[in-house]
Structure 1
Amino acid sequence: MDKIHLYDKILSPMVTEKTTNLSEQNKIVFKVPRAANKTNLKKNIEKIFKVNVTKINIINKQNRTKVARGKKVNVQGYKKAIITLKKGQSIDLTSGI
């Protein structure tokens, strides 16, 4: 499988205060396409980053409406995956791949 196709299943890493705290528990959070599933994500992440994935949790964030400057604005939802790595392994998101 070509590496370009492997990266299609991972849109971007999510770097927030909460995800930084999760990294202490060997968990990494990625934004993934809506069509992604656990088995394909596991295979792709293990091939790209050369780590062992023990568990994947997927969360669907729904579309929502918020008020900005007095107008209703639709905020598009997304899908995120919380990947648990084998103990002692990690992925360095700050360096290039």
Structure 2
Amino acid sequence: MSAKPEQYDVIVKPIVTEKATLASENGAVVFEVAKDASKPMIKDAVEALFGVKVKAVNTSITKGKTKRFRGTPGRRSDVKKAYVTLEDGNTIDVTTGL
């Protein structure tokens, strides 16, 4: 499979946090994805870009926090995360670049 430019638009970046590291111990990888990306689109993009087999995709939308920017109230943008569970024997090393 070759990676189409749209697949690079679906997956924004990998998320490396404590919670994402705990998920990786169970064979899951966490990505920030486009807000309009569906689960089948995310599955196809991960399989094409990384050459792995995906078992399941779970998504969550984190609402942006209200913060102050230079004294004026502002709002961070909403973020959609995808928890991608891989088939047994497949791994993705998110510490290296694409």
Question: Are 2:3 and 2:45, in contact at CA under 8 Å, matched by a contact in 1?
Answer: no
Provide the C-alpha distance between the structure 1 equivalents of 2:49 and 2:3, rounded to a whole number of angstroms.
Answer: 11
The residue that corresponds to 1:29 in the other structure is 30
Provide the C-alpha distance between the structure 1 equivalents of 2:3 and 2:71, rounded to a whole number of angstroms.
Answer: 47
Aligned Cα RMSD in Å?
A: 1.9
Question: Are 2:3 and 2:49, in contact at CA under 8 Å, matched by a contact in 1?
Answer: no
The residue that corresponds to 2:51 in the other structure is 50
List gaps (5 residues or longer) in structure 1.
none
Q: Which amino acid aligns with 1:5?
A: E
Q: C-alpha displacement at 1:2, in angstroms?
A: 5.0
User: Aligned pair in 2 of structure 1 residues 96, 17: CA closer, same or farther (>3 Å)?
Assistant: same
TM-score by length of 1: 0.87
Q: Which amino acid aligns with 2:77?
A: Q
Question: Are 2:52 and 2:91, in contact at CA under 8 Å, matched by a contact in 1?
Answer: yes
Q: C-alpha displacement at 1:69, in angstroms?
A: 8.0
The residue that corresponds to 1:9 in the other structure is 10
User: Aligned pair in 2 of structure 1 residues 14, 2: CA closer, same or farther (>3 Å)?
Assistant: closer
TM-score by length of 2: 0.86
Q: C-alpha displacement at 1:70, in angstroms?
A: 6.5
Q: C-alpha displacement at 1:79, in angstroms?
A: 0.5
Q: Which amino acid aligns with 2:19?
A: K
List gaps (5 residues or longer) in structure 2.
none
